[in-house]
Structure 1
């Protein structure tokens, strides 16, 4: 009799979180992207382990159904991350993934699970002030052009097949963002660091201050455009360490 193979468990991480980390920073991918978008970031900042999270429907999970809403994704993330919440942790989300980070933190609190030490929300208006963003009004052709720009910014070559796959994911993400709305919003379950970028024309930093209505926030204005976070700039890494109470030594060069 042939043994039945157990179904393969989804891989939520490109590398499993280390048991030696002092703090884990779970980094959620930007719209249309997978976990490899964080490949330019260091593996650690002080004793903070950078843990890029892989979402269904992209890269090595391309054959899986993408999420249908931020709420459903947050529920899945609670299940996937629960075994790794055995030490202080934080979430980083840029643009729409900042809202996913917020929703996941709320659901952890509702379930009686550990909540983040801090949320890092970048280039995203507060949950009750959206949905906001030029991408939400773009045509498919315009979004295709943005995919080409993003792949190039990530250091890749925008081959037609890669663009087509990424566009499919981006369209799904945009639909989920359009459908998202909370009124009134729930208070933050932990402090938040709200990160704006001084050259960001997609989500101007002046629009981010309403996060303060939800609880304890620290606002930081960093230098760079909307995609500036991709390279893991030193000011961003320093913000992680400072706001999580760790000591960071800047990388040489």
Structure 2
């Protein structure tokens, strides 16, 4: 009697939805610490002609059964391999706070591998790598992080029930540890960087983001109106900055 063949291992699900093959450009969004890709539910499917692609790291939501990536370097290594087929047209990365630095590390690894590079790396509400790690949350114990996670869930429009908070707590703890361990020192990115501060952000005030010009010769800084969570609603001022730095491709017709 023949033993049953082992089922083929499913590929990782790094994107919450399949990219549009007809889109002229792509923007990959990295989630905030403790959250999954669905945190961008209020963002449009497109920004002009740019296809909005939601990155889903392991250990959360539809990847809850998978182990955490551990470090940004590990995450970037696996993500670079996965993204190869999707880098066949102009693309960029966006991340806010704990979601900003993974885009930096993925860009570094793409450059090291001689692969296509992002047109732009949009970093929102985060200090430059050589000025970190920096976060108020590093000083909080589990009870404090539990309360913080409830605040994040509320900002996302959810109800911070006990089970939901407890499920996300380990993800938040591990995401913060990855942030804490990311200390690459002074780096130079081959891609341009748009550093976006927020006028009422008390977590990462704009004045702490002054190190980004040292990261990219193509740096540009902008301060938008709003608090630390203002990016969640995809305000038009933010989308306008993204269209601006993508350039003409953002307005290209979709076939």
TM-score (structure 1 length as normaliser): 0.95
The residue that corresponds to 1:81 in the other structure is 83
Q: In the alignment, does 2:189 pair up with 1:179?
A: no
> What's the CA shift for 1:136?
1.4
* Uncovered stretches (5+) of structure 1, i.e. residues with no partner: none
**1:52 equivalent in structure 2:** 54
* Separation in structure 2 between the aligned mates of residue 246 and residue 160 of structure 1, nearest angstrom: 47
Q: Which residue of 1 aligns with 2:198?
A: 197
What is the match of residue 147 of structure 1? 149
Q: Unpaired runs of 5+ in structure 2?
A: none
Q: Which residue of 1 aligns with 2:172?
A: 170
Aligned length: 248
How much does 1:2 deviate? Answer: 3.6
State the match for 1:209 in structure 2.
210
Q: Distance in 2 between matches of 1:132 and 1:2?
A: 51
Equivalent pair of 2:24/2:249 in contact (CA under 8 Å): no
Measure, in 1, the Cα distance between the counterparts of 2:126 and 2:84: 26
Separation in 2, partners of 1:115, 1:45 = 20
Aligned residues of 1:46 and 1:241 also touching (Cα < 8 A): yes
Runs of 4+ in 1 over 6 A off after TM superposition: none
- For the 8 Å contact 2:77–2:109, the answer to whether it is kept is yes
Q: For 2:195, what is the secondary structure of its paired residue? A: strand
Structure 2: distance between partners of 1:88 and 1:159: 41
Contact 1:46 1:246 in 2 (8 A): no
Three-state SS of the structure 2 residue aligned to 1:244 is helix
How much has 1:102 moved relative to structure 2?
Answer: 0.5
Give a deviation string over 1:161-204, Cα, whole Å, max 9, x none. 11001111000011111111122x22012101000000000000
1:246 and 1:144 map into 2 onto residues whose CA distance is 44
For 1:72 and 1:177, the matched residues in 2 are separated by: 12
Counterpart mapping for 1:1-253 below 5 A: 2-183=4-185, 185-215=186-216, 216-246=218-248
Given that 1:34 and 1:55 are in contact with CA atoms closer than 8 Å, whether structure 2 keeps it comes out as yes
> 1:136, 1:100 → 2: CA distance?
18
Distance 1:166 1:246, change over 3 A: farther
Once residues 63 and 227 of structure 1 are traced to their aligned partners in structure 2, the CA distance between those partners, rounded to angstroms, is 28
Q: How much has 1:62 moved relative to structure 2?
A: 0.2
- Structure-2 separation of matches of 1:91 and 1:9: 22
222-231 vs 7-16, which moves further: 7-16
Query: Per the alignment, do residues 187 and 151 of structure 1 end up closer, same or farther by CA in structure 2, a change over 3 Å counting?
Result: same
Query: Hey, what's the Cα distance between the residues in 1 that align with 2:4 and 2:74?
Result: 36
